[in-house]
Structure 1
Amino acid sequence: MTDDRTQIRELVERWARAVHAGDLDTVVADHAEDIVMFDVPPPYEGVRGLAAYREVWPPFFAWQAQGASFAVEDIEVTAGADVAFAHALLRCGTPDELAARPGFRLRLTLGLRKEAGRWTVAHEHHSFPDLSGA
C-alpha cells in the first residue's frame, strides 16, 4: 500500500488529467460533499458544495477543448493522520498564452481530509499571480 503523500499526489495528478480531458465524473470523484473552492473567475465568495462545484467545470472544459494545457508541473504534499494539504504549480493556458508568458503558472492549494480511509478534497483554491504591476 502506498503512503498518504503518494496517494494524495496520485489523486491530484488524476484530477488534473481529468480536468484536461473534460472528464467531469473523475474531476469531482475525490471531492467532499461540502467542498469549498475559491477560483480565479467569479463567484468571488467561492463555490460551496459538490453540486455547485460540478457546475463550474463545463465552461472551463469548453475553453480547454480549444487546445489549452492543464498539467501539474510541481507538487508538494504534507499529510497527517487524517488531514493534509498540497500545493502545486500547473501549466494552464493556450499555446499563445504560454508562449507569451513561458513561466506563468496556475497556483493550486488543496486541503484534504481522510474519510472512511480515503483522501477527499475539502478545500480547493486556484490563483494566478497578479502581473498588473509587472
Structure 2
Amino acid sequence: MTSNESEIRTLLENRTAACENKDIDRLMPLYSPGIVYYDAVPPLRFRGTEAVRDNFLRWFDGYEGLISLETHELTVVTSGDAAFAHMLLLDTGKRKGGEQSSIWVRATTCLRRSHGRWLITHEHVSVPFDPGTLQIWLPSDRDQPA
C-alpha cells in the first residue's frame, strides 16, 4: 500500500466515523469548497459545501440515534495529486418513527491533494434497485455484495 493510498483510507475512515456520529463539523473539512455531490435524493446534484452540508444534515435528521456504516470492498487508486475510491456501504440505523432499517449504498469518491492535503472534490452515491419492480434492493442474509 502506498503512502497516498494509506492517507486516502484514513480520510475515508474519518468520513465514516463523522457520519456515524452525525458530526457535521468533523465531516465538512474533508470536502473541497467546490465539491460536486451526486445523491440518490432530489435535487440529485449538490454543489458547494453549504449545499452538501445541508444534505448531510437532512440525512442525519432521518435517524433517531447514531448511524452504522459498514464499508465493504473498498478500492483506492491514486496517481500524483488525484485519487478515487469506490465502495459499498451498509447503512443501518433506527429511523425516525422507530423503524430499524438497513440499505446498501454504492459510493464513488474522487479526491485531489492541494497544499499537501487531500480533499473530496466529487462524490457519487446510489442505491441499488430492482429494475423490474423499481423497488430498492434491501439487504437480507442471503443477499451480500458479490
| Both proteins in one fold, TM over 0.5 | yes
User: Per-residue deviation at 1:57?
Assistant: 1.4
Distance (Å, rounded) in 2 between the aligned partners of 1:51 and 1:66:
24
Bigger helix share? 1
1:97 alignment partner in structure 2:
101
AA aligned to 2:101 is: E
Alignment partners' CA distance in 1, 2:117 and 2:67: 31
**Is the Cα–Cα contact under 8 Å of residues 21 and 67 in structure 2 kept in the other structure?**
no
Flag structure 2 segments of 5+ consecutive residues without an equivalent: 95-99, 134-146
Q: How many residues align?
A: 127
**Offset at residue 64 of structure 1 (A):** 3.0
Query: Which residue number corresponds to residue 87 of structure 2?
Result: 88
- What CA distance in whole angstroms lies between the structure 2 residues aligned with 1:127 and 1:4? 26
Equivalent pair of 1:20/1:64 in contact (CA under 8 Å):
no
Matching residue of 2:32: 32
Contact 1:17 1:71 in 2 (8 A): no
Query: Aligned partner of 2:47: which letter?
Result: R
Provide the aligned C-alpha RMSD in A: 1.8
Instruction: Tell me which residue corresponds to 2:16.
Output: 16
For the residues of structure 2 that align with 1:89 and 1:27, how far apart are their CA atoms?
19
Alpha-carbon shift at residue 68 of structure 1 (Å)? 4.4
Report Cα offsets for 1:69-93 as digits up to 9, x if no partner. 2232331100011111000111113
Unaligned runs of 5+ in 1: 99-103
1:77-125 deviation digits (Å, cap 9, x = unpaired): 0001111100011111347433xxxxx5211101111110111100001
Shift of 1:65: 3.3
Structure 1: 4+ residue segments shifted above 6 A: none
Checking the alignment, whether the CA contact within 8 Å between 2:20 and 2:66 is kept in structure 1 is no
Letter in 1 for 2:7: Q
Q: Is the 8 A contact 1:84 1:112 kept in 2?
A: yes
Paired with 1:43 and 1:124, the residues of 2 have a C-alpha distance of 15
- Please state whether the residue corresponding to 1:65 is helix, strand or coil: strand
* Structure showing the higher strand proportion among its residues: 2
Distance 1:65 1:9 in 2: 28
Provide the rounded CA distance (Å) in 2 between the counterparts of 1:7 and 1:125. 20
Equivalent residue letter for 1:65: E
Identity over aligned pairs, percent: 31
Q: Which residue of 1 aligns with 2:78?
A: 79
**Whole-Å Cα distance in 1 between the matches of residues 62 and 73 of structure 2?**
23
